Amino acid sequence: MRSNWMLCVVLGMTATAYAKDPKPHQTGNVQQMDSVQCGAAGEALGADSGGKQAQQLLCQEYVLQAEQVTYRIRPCDQKHPVLLPVGGRAQFRLQKDKMLLRVEGLDNEGLDNKEREYIVVSMAPRSDGSTADATPARLNHLQ
């Protein structure tokens, strides 16, 4: 009986020692929000067979500026998207092909403080001079 208990304790300690640490959150600022075309209600975009114009659907697309990268993201939940405050600070982490994002201070505006999933539409290195690279740029033979 005592050896079974010790075995359980040792296995439990081993499992916690090898458990993956969650990825640390990065911080960034929500710079802007645009409404972009993301589909149409009904048939394909343009005119349908009856000559009527299909209703275009718009999605929110945000620009999130992190320390070294600028991301363009869209909410995964298109039916109930939460509007993010422009200029607000956000904590995020990348997990597989999704960004898990939590905006600081949303609980003050009546919203919960939980992580929401976003699709990364594009990524680009920051172009401003605040993150100067110490290594010199090297051109390859194709440039």
The domains of the chain are located at 20-125
Within 4-115, strands assigned E span 26-41, 55-66, 69-75, 89-95, 98-103
Question: Can you give the pLDDT at residue 42?
Answer: 59
Asked if pLDDT for residue 15 goes beyond 70, the answer is: no
- The answer to whether the beta carbons of residues 58 and 35 sit under 8 Å apart is yes
Residues contacting 63, CB < 8 A, separation 6+: 30, 31, 32, 33, 34, 70, 71, 72
- The answer to whether the beta carbons of residues 90 and 29 sit under 8 Å apart is yes
- The answer to whether the beta carbons of residues 73 and 62 sit under 8 Å apart is yes
At 39, list the tokens: 């589909």
Rounded to 5 degrees, what angle do the CA atoms 50, 52, 58 make? 140
* pTM of the entire predicted model: 0.63
Asked if pLDDT for residue 54 goes beyond 80, the answer is: no
Read off the pLDDT of residues 111-141 as tens digits, 9 standing for 90 and up.
Answer: 567 889 999 999 999 886 554 444 445 555 5
Q: Report in angstroms the alpha-carbon separations of 21 from 18, 94, 113.
A: 9, 14, 21
